[in-house]
Structure 1
Amino acid sequence: MHVVDDANKGMLHNAVKDPYSSTLIHELLRQNAGIVLSEHELICELHTLLAAGHENASSAPHELLQELLDELAMVTDLTDYNALSKLPRLNGVINVTLRVFPLAYEMAREVGPGGVTVPTTAFGLLDLPEGLHIEIPIRGIHCGQPIWGDDAMTWNPYRWDHINLFALMELRFVACIVKRYALTTDVPMDGVQMQSTIRMRMTNAWVRFERPHQK
């Protein structure tokens, strides 16, 4: 962790010296222009980018690709967040993919000095003592039937048509890929095999990127 911390601090400091580049770290700094996050919190965000983002791929069924292309054809500026956030099919594909196949399937936290009181829906205010170890079952929450209903495990982007939760960077990234490449795979959505180590990853679903003009 010390090695990773030092590497992240170095990348962060180098990015501050060159504010006009277009890496994810530079985008993170631009989003933090009002100094919302401290340097320590920015380092923690970089941990997340490195752990969850270094090997990721997602795809949509063929019948949705044309809908995505039709939506993106109306957007000329992929840096326009207001335009991207109003595209229901783009938002739906991103949200449902990260819900059913979250990169991190669980997280752990430890209560800091002095303890903390947190509000909960089921139990009211809970006093958590210092040193308490908490595990957060992310995929269990994402796919729990009490929350999502009987079709909790169904990959259905249409359920998100009226919900918009995701950030500018994610929208830009996916919009750029879908608009510039044709994505295909031979593995159906219900045939994807998952492996959980530090994070969740697909073991049998490879996605091909092809330029639209290529056969």
Structure 2
Amino acid sequence: MVTVEIAGKVYQVPAGITLLKALWYTGHEVIRGAGCLGGFCGACATYYRTKDDPKVKTCLACSFAVEDGMAFSFAPPFPARKAIYQISELQDPKQDLFELYPEAPMCRNCNACTEACPQSIDVREGVWRAVFGDFKSVSDMFMNCVMCGLCAPVCIADIAPNLVAIYASRVQGAHFTEKPKDIEARIKAIEEGQYEKDWERILRMSDEELQQATVSCP
């Protein structure tokens, strides 16, 4: 057993369990903050501090193990401003960034966002690449972003880097990435109803027929 402090109260919990399991073990009712349990959804963003270390760090509670003397608590929801836009209606997406997120170029290079990221993304660099229109790099850099939002509260320029990054990634996919011709043709065929009879036939199949059809597929 190890000693941990959860939201200011001391508990004994089994060594090696995750912070989220420690909450359940100690009887906490976790409603907001329990999502995929695999480190992918970002719902369990957490602040923690290890024994004798004054520095508060961040992690995802579902994938970080308790340590003796650790103190932690869930990060509260942060009311970052979310710009409203229709991707298909953007005329100049790279310039539109400055209308939707005018605070983006105000980055002070303090690097607090990067330090706060539990996914080890170079968030500061990503913001600047978005500002300079390199949306492809931003999309690649933030591939592992789980939208936990821990980068937003620490920004002294009031930027929500995760929202800037997801805007850049969406724009990159919608406006600057060549669409595979075969996929477009297949989508058109579906919209025209070419597969409706096949779909109706599949829905009428029994479990055994579905299994056989799956096995026989090339």
TM score, norm. by length of structure 1: 0.26
**More contact order relative to length (CA 8 Å, sep ≥ 6):** 1
Q: Provide TM-score, normalisation by structure 2.
A: 0.26
Q: Select the structure of larger CA radius of gyration.
A: 2
